[in-house]
Structure 1
Amino acid sequence: MTRPVAVGLDGSPASLAAADWGAREALRRDLPLRLVHVWEWQPPPAPPVGTDAPRLWTERLLREAAADLRSRFPDLVITTASLMGAPPEVLCDVAEESELMAIGSAGLGRLAGFFLGSVAMSTVAHTERPVVLVRAGTTAAAERLLATGERPLSAMPYRPVVLGLDLSRPCDGVIRFAFETAALRAAPLRVVHGRNPPAFFAYGVGVTPSVRDDVAVQEAEVLRTALRRWRERYPGIDVIEQAVIGQPVHHLVDAGADAGLVVIGKRTDRLSAGPTRIGHIAHAVMHHCPAPVAVVPHD
């Protein structure tokens, strides 16, 4: 069974940007595109007036979005679905049937970051498939040219893919996703790995520059070793390694300013009975990185 690239549409500019991003990603992966709108039934007022309005609006939204994409990407297979239910639950079900899902996120400004609604946050937290958060108006310039159909997909240059890597836990699925995505784009891959230093580093107690340098060298070697087999598997990718001491959030957000996609992992703890959590690093990147952010679940 071929899994599509799915997009959650709600009519906002951010969700339409996600549809545009999803269309181009489906073309790269030679997959169909599925546009989905979820609406939750509410008891009508008394007397009931216009009870068909939500359904008609949904049908129009999907019809117009699909028509726009078909006009620009005539080779893309596009299907639409209007689904009823609680949006987070339904979108999670859709994501599980998809190769990946794209959802829009709205911008609040450079300082405030980006607004992720409860639907997007819940979908990212609970699904075990990759979810990509797309910002309205932040698509890379080269990809905007592609969206106009002025140049073929194979001729387009792409901005780097950035991978935020935590080597303290297994993360092969996240690494594989980043390498495959960079290979599909023929784009360079920048890997950012950070490690929190011991507490005394933060206060500089007994820490000399040589000690800091030694730790940095050790972390760089750890990163180089972890990526060696992936470099061999994808020899055509230009890989830039960046090992940093301390929280990598600021480095990832800075790298996102010139990236086509930022890839981060989200740990999936199937044995835990507590609520599903999104790590603080992933949470910060999701809210402040200007590039599209792919959140990839892993064990």
Structure 2
Amino acid sequence: MNPTTQPVAIGVDGSPGTSGAIRAGLDEARRLGAPVLLVHVVPDHVPMTPMLPLVGPDLGLTGAAILHEVAAEVAELAPDLHIRTDLRHGPRASQLAKGAHDAAVLYVGRDDRPLFERVLLGNTAAGVASRATCPVVVVPPEWPPGSGARGAVVVAVKSPAHSTELLADAFAAAAALGDRLLVLHSWKLPTGYDDIVVSRVAADELTERSTAELETLLHEWRTTYPSVGVEIRIVHDQPAHALVRASRDADLVVLVRHAHGFPTGSLGGTGRAVLRDAECPVRIVPPGAVTAVAGLVLEQAGDITK
């Protein structure tokens, strides 16, 4: 692969929660032949007590020390890579996204704080993935697993609307990792309707039709990436459940971010659930300007994986 001048950005805060993101980001930088950009965001204030917030210069000095220490550790881990740092100030999610505006990809650690704290203080990983203009990879702290590579990249396909960018990213990731690609389409209608529809339509017929449509969609990608083995899986289940289950045997899950008229797009309930519970890194691809691909229109009325 030809080296790239676009950096691999990694959000760091000095906590153990970002260790998986650092390891995965360094691996990506080596694969791309890219420099590394370590981004740390200094918050506007830290409420030590209701009457005594830590603000201003104290926070800036602390943030600079954290970033310097992490950069030194990363330099020891990756002496072969060029490393830069970026110290930013303000809201963490938006500043991480801005810091990675010219990056090839941004790696962040998964936010495993209790639900109450995420609601109160915000979920950094989900916030970044909703805003960034480059792909964002959210990595569990304990990644990679002790068992080593699992051999699969999972890509969730809903419809042709954003499939060009989604499949381009997923096939490239599978080729880079030497993995097979599992193309997952999951559908389930609302309770009541689902029972009626499934009881009246043979499941085998639905699977056969959906598989044929996906084969059409994937034809050119198979030709472009002949070394990537492809498996199609049609699942009658809630999308988040199906994706989390598939993540147990995967090295990466690839999703596309919704684009519903908002400049930054939206993850949606499925995306947020997968970020929270997946057992491997999750890569969120921004929708961008994607041309629709004819040949795949699946269960538009259902709550379907995207």
Q: Is 1:160–1:182's contact at 8 Å kept on the other side of the alignment?
A: yes
The DSSP-based 3-state class of the residue aligned with 1:170 is: helix
Tell whether the 8 Å contact from 1:16 to 1:65 is kept in structure 2 after alignment: no
Please state how far the C-alpha of 1:127 moved relative to its aligned partner.
2.1
Supply the AA of the counterpart residue of 1:15.
Answer: T
Residue 140 of structure 1 deviates from its aligned partner by: 3.1
Q: CA deviation at 1:100?
A: 0.9
**CA offsets per residue over residues 152-171 of structure 1, 9 Å max, x none?**
xxxxx563111111125232
Secondary structure, counterpart of 1:81 in structure 2: strand
The residue type paired with residue 266 of structure 1 is: R
1:218 paired with 2:218, answer: no
> 1:198 Cα deviation (Å)?
8.3
Shift of 1:177: 0.8
Partner of 2:178: 186
Q: Deviations over 1:59-88 (max 9, x none)?
A: 332222222222222211111111123322
The counterpart of 2:123, out of the listed 113, 118, 124, is 118
After superposition, what is the alpha-carbon deviation per residue over 1:159-187, rounded to whole angstroms, capped at 9, x for unaligned?
31111111252321111111111111111
| Structure 2 counterpart of 1:280 | 269
User: What residue in structure 2 maps to residue 231 of structure 1?
Assistant: 222
Instruction: Name whichever of 39-48 and 82-91 sits farther off.
Output: 39-48
Q: How many residues align?
A: 280
Q: Aligned-pair RMSD on alpha carbons?
A: 3.2
5+ long unaligned stretches in structure 2: 289-306
The residue type equivalent to 1:159 in the other structure is G
Residues 11 and 38 in structure 2, CA contact (< 8 A), matched pair in contact too: yes
Q: Give the TM-score, by structure 2 length.
A: 0.80
Q: CA 1:53–1:37 in 2, change beyond 3 Å: closer, same or farther?
A: same
Inter-partner Cα distance in structure 2 for 1:6 and 1:164: 24
Q: 1:28 aligns with which of 31, 54, 59?
A: 31
Pick from 243, 259, 263 the counterpart of residue 268 of structure 1.
Answer: 259
Which letter maps to 1:64? Answer: E
Is 1:37 aligned to residue 40 of structure 2? yes
| Residues 1:255 and 1:30: Cα distance change in structure 2 (over 3 Å) | same
Q: Secondary structure at the match of 1:37?
A: strand
The match for 1:146 is none
Match of 1:93 among 76, 81, 98: 98
- Tell me the distance in 2 between the aligned counterparts of 1:187 and 1:123: 27
Q: For 2:271 and 2:46, locate their aligned partners in 1 and report how far apart those are by CA, in whole Å.
A: 37
Match of 1:148 in 2: none
Match of 1:66 in 2: 71
C-alpha change, 1:86 and 1:47, in structure 2 (3 Å) is closer
2:259 is aligned with 1:259? no
Residues 192 and 248, structure 1, Cα contact 8 Å, conserved in 2:
no
Unaligned runs of 5+ residues in structure 1 are: 144-156
Distance in structure 1 (CA, Å) of the matches to 2:47 and 2:192? 61
Task: Quote how far apart the aligned CAs of 1:278 are.
Answer: 1.9
Please tell me whether residue 202 in structure 1 is matched to residue 194 in structure 2: yes
SS in 1 for 2:226: coil
How many percent identity over aligned positions? 29
> TM-score, normalised on structure 1?
0.82
Find the partner of 1:297 among 261, 286, 289.
286
Structure 1 contact 263–295 (Cα < 8 Å) conserved: yes
